[in-house]
Structure 1
């Protein structure tokens, strides 16, 4: 597993970004990594309108917000080595630019169901090649990680990250497989959906095999499996109601444009009540 030198977090002094900063500081502390706090300022007028005095004021406002984030990070964890970076332009593009050196990227989010199409919380996970944690909750309520398992490379990467998070934070883990997805299986497997018992048996065996490997690597994690004869989106959204973090791959077994997230990942970012981590296949 390749290691990277920092945890990257976007900060803009909103309540949502303060939640993200809290998560990122703790992630950096637990992983014994540095923290990179990034604030992005934007020219609020058409590009054709140039006023260097106003630009200087906007930039100084950005510097002030970044200083506030740095002070907050040091307040939360004095032992974490934190650096700040002021950038201009869209936040998702700036964070993407800094992402190659990040072990984990952390951003804040509005409550579920409120994310606009151009939101950083939607655009960044679709393009970054590092795990992106979209933070919603202010504090841990359940001390549990839920991870989606579907036998895809993305699902395997999600399992690796989920076990790592659970081990670092001392949380329990629940691996969920929503097996009713006939549109995403090979043609040879379609007959299984005519026999519910055989589908459950086959899917359960696949789930147990996938999780067993990580249980051996992380014996300290209290892990259990849940096979749900429903679509993966429904299964994971239900499970996320009793979790602090739900982890999924960027795309599952279906055919998806490589520049887009899968349907399940997108649905969780929009509707999960807890924080969501999107993990890309090549990460693990």
Structure 2
């Protein structure tokens, strides 16, 4: 049985935009689409699910569609689906979020906890509707980006578009400056050249996805700035996450937090397997 793409719906406009994006994504990958609504009241829930189902059916008439109402909080309901989901898809803000919030509390919590890829649908219609023909993936030093790179190649293939691989580094702080990274002088002796970091990360997937055009970009500066600039002309930004071996809720890291709040296009957070 093919596992579905799961999209959280709450009746907000951003959740309906997520339904649009998820319906198109389900068609690209030929997987079912499952609408999930966490609610307290049955009457209101049925209206929310009905509206989302109509939206998905209109946008993607061939999609295999199912729906479910669960009576628990949205974060628990969505994270509870992660082991049997192709991916979890969420809008950038929900009905309960405060005005002015850049990213809803549910989206941030789910992206920080889920074991499967989580896509937060952000940005203008031209970014959500795949008009740029580009998937961007962030590549970090080490093996933390392996799963994200493979995910990004797969997305580029089903979208018939190019892949842009971005690696940012700073001679003073290293590729991913955090309080846990040792000083630059301790890193210099072990650092690979930035271009080699990209080559090593892409070598295996490029052999498998040899039909995908790939661009490499090395950025001398903060990773956040590099990825936001690349995402300005992208249909999807893909980044890796540390996975559950990190402290609960901290698998995202500071850079991913910033991207989820500020990226101009949908963001896929892919935990390392």
Q: Work out the CA distance in 2 between the residues paired with 1:150 and 1:234.
A: 14
Q: Is 1:82 paired with 2:80? A: no
Q: Work out the CA distance in 2 between the residues paired with 1:13 and 1:189.
A: 52
Residues 87 and 206 of structure 1, relative CA distance in 2, 3 Å threshold: same
- Report which of the two has the higher share of helix: 1
Q: Is 1:68 paired with 2:51? A: yes
Residues 229 and 109 of structure 1, relative CA distance in 2, 3 Å threshold: same
Cα offset for 1:87? 1.2
Q: In the alignment, what sits opposite 2:26?
A: 28
Which of 9, 14, 17 is the equivalent residue of 1:16? 14
Contact 2:6 2:85 in 1 (8 A): yes
Q: In the alignment, what sits opposite 1:192?
A: 188
Which of 97, 108, 120 is the equivalent residue of 1:122? 108
Q: Is 1:226 paired with 2:217? A: yes
Matches within 5 A, 1:40-189: 40-42=38-40, 58-110=41-93, 114-115=101-102, 119-137=105-123, 138=125, 139-180=129-170, 181-182=173-174, 183=177
Cα offset for 1:39? 1.1
**Structure 2: tracts of 5 or more residues without a match:** 95-99
- What is the TM-score when the length of structure 1 is the normalising length? 0.82
Cα offset for 1:188? 8.9
Residues 256 and 229 of structure 1, relative CA distance in 2, 3 Å threshold: farther
Greater C-alpha radius of gyration: 1
Partner SS, residue 21 of structure 1: helix
Q: Is 1:214 paired with 2:212? A: no
After superposition, give the CA deviation of every residue in 1:137-163 in whole Å (9 maximum; x if it has no partner). Answer: 332231211110013443111101111
**Structure 1: tracts of 5 or more residues without a match:** 43-57
Partner SS, residue 81 of structure 2: helix
Superposition CA RMSD, Å: 2.6
Q: In the alignment, what sits opposite 1:38?
A: 36
- Off by >4 Å, runs of 4+ in structure 1: 183-189
After superposition, give the CA deviation of every residue in 1:66-85 in whole Å (9 maximum; x if it has no partner). Answer: 12211222222222211100
Q: Work out the CA distance in 1 between the residues paired with 2:142 and 2:242.
A: 8
- What is the TM-score when the length of structure 2 is the normalising length? 0.85
